[in-house]
Amino acid sequence: MTRFVTRLAAAGALSALFVAAACAPKTNYSAPAPAPVAAFKENANWKPAEPRDADVRGAWWEMFGDPALAALEQRIEVSNQTLKAAEAQFAAARASVRGSRANLFPQVAAAPAVSTARSSANRAFASFHDPFNDIVVPLDASYEADVWGRLHGIVEAGRTAAQATAADLETARLSVHAELAIDYFALRGLDREQQLLNAAVDAFAQALDLTQNRFRGGLASGADVAQAETQLETTRVQAVDVAVQRAALEHAIALLVGEPASTFSLAPSPLTAAPPNVPVGVPSDLLERRADVAAAERRVASAFAQVGVTQAAYYPVLTLSGAAGFESSALGSLLSTASAFWTAGPTALVNVLDFGRRRAANAQARAEYDVVSAEYQQTVLSAFREVEDQIAALRVLEQEAAIQDRAVAAAERSLALANNRYRGGVASYLEVITAQSFALGNERAAVNLLTRRMTATVLLLKGLGGNWRAALLPTVAEIKN
């Protein structure tokens, strides 16, 4: 009868716990809603609509049609140390999730022990004083019943944090690829400037020969010769100086592809091609294309799950534990029926008084949730701004490039006229030098504009998230494995 009452009481306690669990407040997570944006302001009335999907197909850098750039970009995936570090962080996050999930299952441990002891004959109720052996082969098991969802909340917080880390990896990958493209086009722009300066040096050397011949024939002054020499040497200095900037960019690219700068080199290839048109799409798509936005949202989800974990701390912790095995003083009788033992029973841990510790932990978790929610909204706003910035930059730079092309053409006509006037003896050499300076300066400005347009295009593709989509985030099953 006593045993029946004990079992009935235990069953009643368990039933009460599960009823309380059913009554515990539960709130489903929903992602913060960013401010709605109908269209990109800077994209209005700029480029005509194109009858194609706004998605970037394949590797985004292939839009530039540069095989050398594509080959370099492919080397990043296997050689870049920044990406390797980010991949290791994601691997650590996945391992942490697997560790958290292990707490959902019973924990079983075995601790065999052999000992020899002798009790004191002078202790209270001593029965014997002879040494004795104690051989124990136990199997202990414990299981925390996740009645309030605390353990599942920890797993969910870890899982969403791991997804955020995976998105961080994609953000790092996009940043490294974009940095390589920017450095590459800057280097190719310098190659084009080098080409212009080398051609100018050749032209100025010929002009100096002409001026010296005219000086010897009495048709030019010594001042004209000095001015021609100054123009030539100044341009030579500029041509040499370009090599310093190019070397720095070449070394930066070597670092990105994971190769020592001393063994890496790129053959000169002047930048000439115009940037491709980038399909922008609509702002609502941007939230699905940006890995940093996805990472921020996953951190909100993780913080929300952590709030639930701290909320569950208000309820008792129910643990089911037991032990079974064999214990004997002699090895020969260890596995006999009489040596067997077992224990089993539930334990409820109730926090009676903690002086506000749980309340403080819950308040801290809620505050951290508010922090990451605000950071998510800020990340979304920053994403919109980055796209608007680069659309505006491309629009303005395209207009500026058209004007600059006209300036280059005018400077070339002016230089041709100045040379003809000088040869005809109706203009001083100062007019020629001035025309040469304007022509070279405008040509270099045009190259600089082209480089800036390529950079803005790369930054726009980066702002659009490249070819990434939120659907590419690892699933729960992928994180578990």
CATH at 461: 1.20.1600.10
**Domain at 136, CATH number:** 2.20.200.10
Q: What residues make up the domain containing 99?
A: 25-105+147-314+356-480
Instruction: Take residue 276 and report the two structure tokens written for it.
Output: 């491709």
Q: Which residues pair with 118 in a beta bridge?
A: 131
Give yes or no: residues 426 and 345 share one domain. no
**Mean pLDDT in each 10-residue stretch from start to end of the chain (481 residues)?**
47 50 64 77 54 58 93 88 86 87 85 77 64 76 84 88 90 93 96 94 88 84 88 92 94 93 93 90 83 92 92 88 80 76 83 88 93 93 92 94 95 91 82 89 95 96 88 80 68
With respect to residue 16, please indicate whether it lies within any of the assigned structural domains. no
Give yes or no: residues 339 and 390 share one domain. no
Identity of residue 433: I
Give yes or no: residues 256 and 374 share one domain. yes
Rg (CA), the chain: 38
With respect to residue 5, please indicate whether it lies within any of the assigned structural domains. no
With respect to residue 360, please indicate whether it lies within any of the assigned structural domains. yes
- Please tell me the predicted confidence (pLDDT) of residue 383: 92
With beta carbons less than 8 A apart as the criterion, state whether 2 and 8 touch: no
Give yes or no: residues 299 and 325 share one domain. no
Task: Name the phi and psi angles at 229, rounded to 5.
Answer: -65, -40
Task: Name the phi and psi angles at 321, rounded to 5.
Answer: -135, 160
With respect to residue 269, please indicate whether it lies within any of the assigned structural domains. yes
- Boundary residue ending a domain (350, 374, 406): 350
Give yes or no: residues 207 and 183 share one domain. yes
Measured CA to CA, the distance from residue 140 to residue 447 in angstroms comes to 76
Give yes or no: residues 234 and 340 share one domain. no
Instruction: Take residue 246 and report the two structure tokens written for it.
Output: 């190019």
- Please tell me the predicted confidence (pLDDT) of residue 57: 54
With respect to residue 8, please indicate whether it lies within any of the assigned structural domains. no
With respect to residue 432, please indicate whether it lies within any of the assigned structural domains. yes
- Please tell me the predicted confidence (pLDDT) of residue 52: 40
Identify the three-state secondary structure at position 1.
coil
With respect to residue 92, please indicate whether it lies within any of the assigned structural domains. yes
Give yes or no: residues 346 and 457 share one domain. no
Give yes or no: residues 134 and 101 share one domain. no
With respect to residue 1, please indicate whether it lies within any of the assigned structural domains. no
Task: Name the phi and psi angles at 316, rounded to 5.
Answer: -65, 155
Give yes or no: residues 193 and 331 share one domain. no
User: How many structural domains compose the chain?
Assistant: 2
Contacts of 302 (CB under 8 A, 6+ apart): 156, 157, 158, 160, 161, 164, 372
Give yes or no: residues 296 and 275 share one domain. yes
Q: DSSP secondary-structure letter at 144?
A: E
Task: Name the phi and psi angles at 39, rounded to 5.
Answer: -155, 160
Instruction: Take residue 241 and report the two structure tokens written for it.
Output: 């100086």
Give yes or no: residues 101 and 111 share one domain. no
Give yes or no: residues 243 and 377 share one domain. yes
